[in-house]
């Protein structure tokens, strides 16, 4: 029986039908063909460098030669994933009225897209996101523990000198604690650990005034594009990430698209030498869009994407729905094509 159904499909695979219009006061079940949008999901790394307040004294006072001397960001484009999102093509409606001549057992989702015939579609359970056990707590910005000498210093150089002295004093205190040379040392190991951690945090806060801060963040940028042969230009700057085209420092990301419309040719049943009687149940044979993404003269990604609105709507033969045993048909939500047919 499956072979017979596939043969019938082959007889009408290129036979397109026009979109149907629901007349006023007409009673009918209406569904729509899907519409495809390209989604480009870019991944890039942002490295943030923040200059310290006393950066110019870092080497002379602390012997640090790699202090951040300029506040800036450096963005590096890493990867792109080409995918699709599906919406409803309201320009391509289809109706099944009371005169269909067979049981109307359609499954339509909340977008108005046809999902199946004579099948019960499983409900999508909400995805539970497991808590990330390894996710660290966001550290609060610490208040820099300035001494009185720092606060009363006459100029920035004098302030830097007092901060450097305070850093050396913290290091000295830590050494005395570890060597047991402190008269009033913490009573137990846990208390000692807390004291050492606090000393470390104070030293880091003060040292950052000289060496600055460095951080890395992985970021995402999603760009949605309607498939066409015109292509698209995006702009990426090492300083600002994704930006506008008037940024002279930005590099071009070129999205080239080559779209192919599905072509339909009417066919007839060669054995009976006449047309096939069609039903009101329509599936979509998608067209394709070739997508190539160029960045700095290199191909980041290249692939062919099925595009629903470049396809043709094809009606299934009415004979499929007139027997004693009705077929079970599952349709693709993304393209409107047939996924499977069974009895």
Q: Which residue is listed with tokens 């005169």?
A: 99
Beta bridge partners of 93: 32
Identify whether 149 is part of a domain. no
High-pLDDT (> 90) share of the chain, %: 57
Residue 288 host element (H or E): strand 278-295
pLDDT, residue 86, reads: 95
pLDDT, residue 4, reads: 32
* Tokens encoding 194: 């807390």
Q: Which residue is listed with tokens 């070739």?
A: 290
Report pLDDT digits (tens) over 48-105. Answer: 999 999 999 999 999 999 999 999 999 999 999 999 999 999 999 998 887 777 888 8
Residue ranges making up the domain that contains 249: 2-44+78-121+217-342
Give 92: exposed, middle or buried? Use CB within 10 Å, 0-12, 13-18, 19+: buried
Mean pLDDT of 168-177: 90
Judged by phi (left if over 0) then psi (alpha if -120 to 50, else beta), residue 135 lies in beta
- 6 pLDDT tier (thresholds 50, 70, 90): very low
pLDDT above 90 for 124: no
Mean pLDDT of 288-298: 94
In whole angstroms, what is the distance from residue 276 CA to residue 183 CA? Answer: 101
In whole angstroms, what is the distance from residue 154 CA to residue 133 CA? Answer: 49
pLDDT, residue 56, reads: 95
pLDDT above 70 for 119: yes
Question: What does pTM read for this prediction?
Answer: 0.76
pLDDT, residue 101, reads: 79
pLDDT, residue 129, reads: 56
Cα 92-96-100 angle, rounded to 5 deg:
140
DSSP-derived pairing of the beta strands 114-117 and 328-331? antiparallel
Q: What is residue 321's DSSP assignment?
A: G
In whole angstroms, what is the distance from residue 60 CA to residue 56 CA? Answer: 8
pLDDT above 50 for 16: no
Give 310: exposed, middle or buried? Use CB within 10 Å, 0-12, 13-18, 19+: buried
What angle, rounded to 10 degrees, do the helices at 156-179 and 189-211 form?
Answer: 160
Mean pLDDT of 119-135: 63
In whole angstroms, what is the distance from residue 283 CA to residue 331 CA? Answer: 8
Mean pLDDT of 19-44: 80
In whole angstroms, what is the distance from residue 28 CA to residue 104 CA? Answer: 10
| DSSP string for 29-53 | EEEEEEEEEEEEEEEEEEEEEE--T
- 209 pLDDT tier (thresholds 50, 70, 90): very high
Q: What is the SS3 assignment for 182? A: coil
Q: How many domains does the chain have?
A: 1
pLDDT above 80 for 19: no
- 121 pLDDT tier (thresholds 50, 70, 90): confident
Identify whether 254 is part of a domain. yes
Q: What is residue 261's DSSP assignment?
A: -
- 139 pLDDT tier (thresholds 50, 70, 90): low
pLDDT, residue 234, reads: 95
Kindly provide the b/e burial profile for residues 7-43, where b requires at least 16 CB atoms within 10 angstroms of the residue's own CB.
ebbebbeebbeeebeeeeeeebeebbbbbbbbebebe
Sheet with 278-295: list strands edge to edge. Answer: 241-243, 232-237, 251-260, 278-295, 298-317
Identify whether 143 is part of a domain. no
pLDDT, residue 164, reads: 93
- 237 pLDDT tier (thresholds 50, 70, 90): very high
Instruction: Decide which of 316 and 133 is more confident.
Output: 316
- 334 pLDDT tier (thresholds 50, 70, 90): very high
Report pLDDT digits (tens) over 190-203. Answer: 888 898 999 999 99
Identify whether 174 is part of a domain. no
Identify whether 297 is part of a domain. yes
In whole angstroms, what is the distance from residue 243 CA to residue 67 CA? Answer: 29
Identify whether 54 is part of a domain. no
pLDDT above 70 for 315: yes
């Amino acid at each position: 029986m499956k072979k017979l159904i596939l043969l019938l499909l082959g007889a009408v695979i290129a036979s397109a039908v026009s979109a149907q219009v629901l007349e006023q006061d007409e009673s009918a079940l209406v569904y729509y063909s899907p519409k495809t949008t390209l989604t480009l999901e870019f991944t890039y790394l942002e490295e943030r460098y923040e200059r310290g307040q006393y950066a110019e004294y870092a080497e002379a006072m602390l012997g640090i030669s790699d202090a951040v001397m300029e506040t800036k960001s450096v963005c590096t484009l890493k990867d792109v994933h080409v995918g699709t999102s599906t919406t409803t093509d309201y320009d391509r409606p289809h109706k099944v009225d009371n005169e269909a001549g067979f049981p109307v057992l359609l499954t339509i989702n909340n977008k108005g897209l046809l999902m199946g015939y004579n099948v019960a579609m499983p409900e999508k359970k909400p995805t539970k996101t497991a808590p990330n056990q390894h996710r660290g707590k966001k550290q609060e910005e610490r208040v820099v523990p300035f001494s009185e000498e720092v606060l009363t210093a006459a100029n920035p150089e004098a302030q830097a000198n007092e901060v450097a002295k305070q850093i050396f004093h913290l290091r000295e205190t830590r050494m005395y604690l570890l060597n047991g040379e402190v008269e009033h040392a913490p009573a137990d190991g846990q208390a000692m650990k807390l004291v050492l951690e606090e000393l470390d945090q104070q030293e880091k806060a003060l040292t950052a005034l000289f060496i600055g801060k460095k951080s890395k963040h992985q970021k995402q940028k999603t760009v949605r594009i309607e498939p066409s042969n015109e292509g698209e230009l995006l702009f990426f700057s090492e300083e600002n990430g994704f930006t506008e085209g008037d940024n002279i420092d930005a590099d071009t990301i070129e999205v080239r698209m080559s779209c192919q419309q599905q072509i339909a040719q009417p066919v007839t049943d060669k054995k009976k030498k006449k047309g096939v009687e069609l039903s009101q149940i329509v599936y979509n044979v998608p067209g394709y869009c070739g997508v190539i993404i160029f960045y700095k003269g290199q191909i980041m990604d290249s692939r062919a994407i099925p595009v629903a609105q470049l396809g043709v709507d094809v009606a299934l033969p009415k004979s499929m729905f007139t027997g004693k045993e009705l077929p079970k048909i599952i349709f693709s939500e993304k393209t409107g094509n047939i996924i499977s047919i069974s009895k």
